[in-house]
Chains A and B, each alone.
Chain A
Amino acid sequence: MTDPANRMRTGAQILWEALHREGVEVVFGYPGGAIMPAYDALLESPVKHVLVRHEQGAAHMADGYARASGKVGVAVATSGPGATNLVTGIATAMLDSVPIVCITGQVSSRVIGTDAFQETDITGVTLPITKHNYLVTHVDQIAPTIREAFYVARSGRPGPVLVDITKDAQQAKMEPVYSDAPVRLRGYRPDHRAPREDLARAAAMIDAAKRPVILAGHGIVKAEASALLAEFVAKTGIPVASTLLGLGGFPASHDLALGMMGMHGEAWVNKAIQEADLLVALGMRFDDRVTGNLETYAVNAKKIHCELDPAEINKNVRVDLALVGDVKDTLASLLTLTTKTVRHGWLDRIGSLKGDSAVRDIQQMPHDQDRLFAAHVMHDLWRITEGKALVVSDVGQHQMWEAQYYKHDYPRKLITSGGLGTMGFALPAAIGARFAMPDEEIWVVVGDGGFQMTACELSTAAQEGIKLNIAIINNGYLGMVRQWQQFFYDGRYSATPLRSPDFVKLAEAHGLTGLRVTKRDEVESVVAQARATPGVVVIDFRVEQEDSVYPMVPAGADLHDMIRRPSPIVETAADE
Chain B
Amino acid sequence: MSQSRLRTFIAYVEDLPGVLNRVTSLFRRRSYNIGSLTVGRTHEAGVSRMTIVMEADDDDARRIEANLYKLVNVLRVDDTTKRATVARELALIKVRADAASRPSVMQVCEVFRARVIDVGPEALICEITGTADKIDGLVDVLLPFGVVEMVRTGAVAMVRSAEARGRDSDLPQAPPGASDAAA
Contacts and interface: CB of A to CB of B under 8 A. Distances in A.
Interface stretch (B66-74, B91-99, B124-132, B140-148): B66-74
26 contacts: A123-B18, A124-B21, A127-B21, A127-B22, A131-B70, A186-B75, A187-B69, A187-B74, A187-B75, A188-B72, A189-B172, A189-B174, A189-B175, A192-B174, A195-B178, A198-B179, A309-B66, A309-B70, A311-B66, A311-B67, A311-B69, A311-B175, A311-B177, A322-B178, A324-B175, A325-B178
Contacts of A320: 181-182
Interface in B67-117: 67, 69-76
A152 interface: yes
B40 interface: no
B72 A314 contact: no
Contacts of A132: 71-72
Given A127-B21, A309-B70, A310-B175, 15 more contacts: A127-B25, A132-B72, A186-B14, A186-B170, A187-B76, A187-B172, A192-B174, A195-B179, A310-B69, A310-B177, A311-B66, A311-B70, A313-B177, A314-B62, A322-B177
Interface in A317-360: 318-325
Nearest to B12: A187
Interface in A126-151: 127-128, 131-132, 135
A412 interface: no
Given A127-B22, A187-B14, A313 B181 contact: yes
Interface of B: 13-14, 18, 21-22, 25, 29, 59, 62-63, 66-67, 69-76, 170, 172, 174-179, 181-182
A279 to B, nearest CB: 14
A157 to B, nearest CB: 8
Contacts of A135: 18
Contacts of A192: 174-175, 177-178
Contact of B181 (A187, A305, A325): A305
Nearest to B76: A187
Given A123-B18, A322-B181, A311 B75 contact: no
Interface of A: 123-124, 127-128, 131-132, 135, 152, 185-189, 192, 194-195, 197-198, 305, 309-311, 313-315, 318-325
A418 to B, nearest CB: 20
Contacts of B177: 192, 310-311, 313, 322, 324
Contacts of A314: 59, 62-63, 181
Contacts of B71: 132, 187
Contacts of A123: 18
Nearest to A132: B72
B1 to A, nearest CB: 8
B22 A310 contact: no
A127 B66 CA distance: 18
A49 B138 CA distance: 67
A311 B179 contact: no
Contacts of B76: 187
Contacts of A313: 62-63, 66, 177, 181
Contacts of A305: 181
Contacts of B182: 319-322
Contacts of A324: 175, 177-178
Most buried by A among B67, B76, B177: B177
A146 to B, nearest CB: 15
Contacts of A197: 179
Nearest to B77: A187
A19 B21 CA distance: 29
B65 to A, nearest CB: 8
A128 B172 CA distance: 23
A-B interface, 4 closest residue pairs, ranked by CB to CB distance from nearest: A310-B177, A322-B181, A311-B66, A187-B75
Contacts of B74: 187
A310 B69 CA distance: 9
A192 B62 CA distance: 16
B4 to A, nearest CB: 15
A323 B75 contact: no
B75 to A, nearest CB: 4
B135 to A, nearest CB: 33
Most buried by B among A198, A320, A322, A325: A322
A323 B180 CA distance: 10
Contacts of B175: 189, 192, 310-311, 324
A321 B181 contact: yes
Contacts of B72: 131-132, 152, 185, 187-188
